[in-house]
């Protein structure tokens, strides 16, 4: 779709975008790798209307209220939560979308900092809301990339495209495969009889504090040391044979390289409905996050450890960037209710934290 094609521009509009779970492919997206995710049945809605005074107003019942002149659009030092939406407005303006003043209200059941990509959901819902409000269209990947740029430039997080693509291309009862180099997006059926349980650790994750950006620098340094354009171009066998790579960079590279291999293996397992095999890949992924990438936390490790001991569980791992947030557990659907209750009870007993544990449905993407 071209941004030159004009629709009737309404005075008011709304848009919704879901959160996502990353099933496999941890920190592979900005290394030109492959990822596997799914949109979930929790998300954010942005609704509002045009203003004729050149002001942009964004309101959230949980985060507060921000107002700024369109002519003074910039990242805010206070109320940084609004930068995700302001950044999107800025990127759409750069794409010649005639965004002027507007008022918007954000609502939904996707909390910030829980590792389910509320930031990407906020960005996408804002983008679709503004495109509808100003009667313009963009291609889906162009929208995703605009939201990614907003996160880079206004929120200060050098994120990959995993979150935006999964939220935008999500399809009910399907996983989303994304090749971050070729930009292929594919929906793959999720095996019937299996369920996903999301468990929030109670430790919020704040990627702008620098750990995420540090991992991006480290994996870039590893690729440079290996003389490849990206870690996508390295196999685990080739990495094992390398001598002289500093231990830190070797561990960071090992995580990304083996994650890519796990995603490609998972595609084969999904085709034949091999849940136990898929779960084994999830377990291996978390262990690599813990040891090689060091983006887990004691709380995430405890949730994964408890889940892996419960009957009917096939695998568990952290989901998303890590450094707090949530875990995702793959299990037999028939046992999901009991597993969720036991996981919550045992985690509360051992950590003193009451987690939010939900059986999640794989849902449709942003609209």
Question: Are 17 and 113 in the same domain?
Answer: yes
Helix (H, G, I), strand (E, B) or coil at 57: strand
- In Å, what is the CA distance from 170 to each residue of 29, 141, 293, 310? 17, 13, 27, 29
Question: Are 248 and 163 in the same domain?
Answer: no
CATH number at residue 297: 3.30.70.890
Question: Are 85 and 233 in the same domain?
Answer: no
Question: Are 210 and 263 in the same domain?
Answer: yes
**Of 127, 150, 179, which residue constitutes the final position of a domain?**
179
User: Is 128 part of any domain?
Assistant: yes
Question: Are 217 and 308 in the same domain?
Answer: yes
Question: Are 164 and 68 in the same domain?
Answer: yes
Question: Are 149 and 18 in the same domain?
Answer: yes
Terminal-residue alpha carbon distance, the chain? 15
Count CB atoms within 10 A of the CB of residue 237.
8
CATH number at residue 161: 3.30.230.10
Catalytic residue among 29, 53, 163, 274: 163
Q: Kindly give, in sequence order, each residue whose CB lies less than 8 Å from that of residue 278, ignoring residues fewer than 6 positions away.
A: 191, 266, 269, 270, 314, 315, 330
Pairwise CA distance, residues 117 & 14, whole Å = 20
**Of 179, 206, 223, which residue constitutes the final position of a domain?**
179
Helix (H, G, I), strand (E, B) or coil at 15: strand
* pLDDT tens for each residue of the chain, 367 residues long: 334 334 567 889 999 999 999 999 999 999 999 999 999 999 999 999 999 999 999 999 899 999 999 999 999 999 999 999 999 999 999 999 999 999 999 999 998 878 788 999 999 999 999 999 999 999 999 999 999 999 999 998 888 899 999 999 999 999 999 999 999 999 999 999 999 999 999 987 665 468 888 999 999 999 999 999 999 999 999 999 998 899 999 999 999 999 999 999 999 999 999 999 999 999 999 999 999 999 999 999 999 999 999 999 999 999 988 999 999 999 999 999 999 999 999 999 999 999 999 999 999 999 9
Question: Are 265 and 354 in the same domain?
Answer: yes
Which residue segment(s) compose the domain that 215 sits in?
A: 190-360
- Contact criterion met (CB below 8 Å) for 354 and 202: yes
Q: How many domains does the chain have?
A: 2
Question: Are 138 and 23 in the same domain?
Answer: yes
Question: Are 164 and 209 in the same domain?
Answer: no
Question: Are 143 and 283 in the same domain?
Answer: no
Question: Are 50 and 120 in the same domain?
Answer: yes
Q: Is 247 in the active site?
A: no
User: Is 298 part of any domain?
Assistant: yes
- Contact criterion met (CB below 8 Å) for 250 and 294: no
Q: What is the pTM of this model?
A: 0.91
């Amino acid at each position: 779709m071209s941004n030159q094609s004009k629709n009737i521009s309404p005075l008011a509009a709304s848009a919704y975008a879901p959160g996502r779970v990353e099933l496999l492919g941890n920190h592979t997206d900005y290394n030109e790798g492959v990822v596997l995710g799914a949109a979930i049945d929790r998300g954010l809605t942005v609704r509002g209307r045009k203003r004729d005074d050149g002001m942009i107003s964004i309101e959230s019942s949980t985060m507060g209220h921000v107002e700024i002149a369109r002519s003074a659009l910039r990242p805010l030092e206070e109320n940084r939560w609004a930068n995700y939406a302001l950044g999107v407005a800025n990127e759409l303006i750069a794409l010649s979308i005639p965004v002027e003043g507007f008022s918007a209200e954000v609502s939904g059941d996707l909390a910030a900092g829980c590792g389910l990509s509320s930031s990407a959901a906020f960005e996408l819902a804002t983008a679709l809301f503004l495109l509808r409000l100003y009667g313009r269209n963009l291609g889906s990947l162009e929208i995703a990339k605009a939201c990614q740029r907003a996160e880079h430039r206004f929120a200060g997080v050098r994120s990959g495209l995993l979150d935006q693509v999964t939220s935008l291309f999500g399809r009910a009862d399907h996983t989303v495969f994304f090749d971050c180099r070729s930009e292929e997006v594919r929906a793959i059926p999720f095996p019937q009889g299996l369920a996903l349980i999301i468990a929030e650790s109670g430790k919020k994750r704040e990627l702008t504090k620098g750990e995420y950006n540090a991992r991006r620098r480290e994996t870039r340094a590893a690729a440079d040391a290996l003389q490849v354009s990206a870690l996508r171009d390295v196999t685990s066998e080739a990495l094992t044979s390398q001598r002289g790579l500093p231990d830190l960079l070797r561990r960071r590279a090992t995580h990304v390289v083996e994650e890519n291999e796990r995603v490609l293996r998972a595609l084969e397992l999904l085709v034949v409905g091999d849940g136990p095999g898929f779960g084994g890949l999830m377990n291996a992924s978390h262990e690599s996050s813990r040891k090689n990438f060091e983006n887990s936390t004691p709380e995430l490790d405890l949730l994964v450890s408890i889940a892996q001991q419960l009957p009917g569980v096939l695998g568990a791992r952290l989901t998303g960037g890590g450094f707090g947030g949530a875990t995702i557990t793959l299990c037999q659907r028939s046992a999901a209710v009991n597993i969720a209750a036991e996981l919550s009870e045992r985690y509360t007993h051992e950590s003193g934290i009451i987690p939010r544990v939900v059986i999640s449905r794989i849902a449709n993407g942003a609209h």
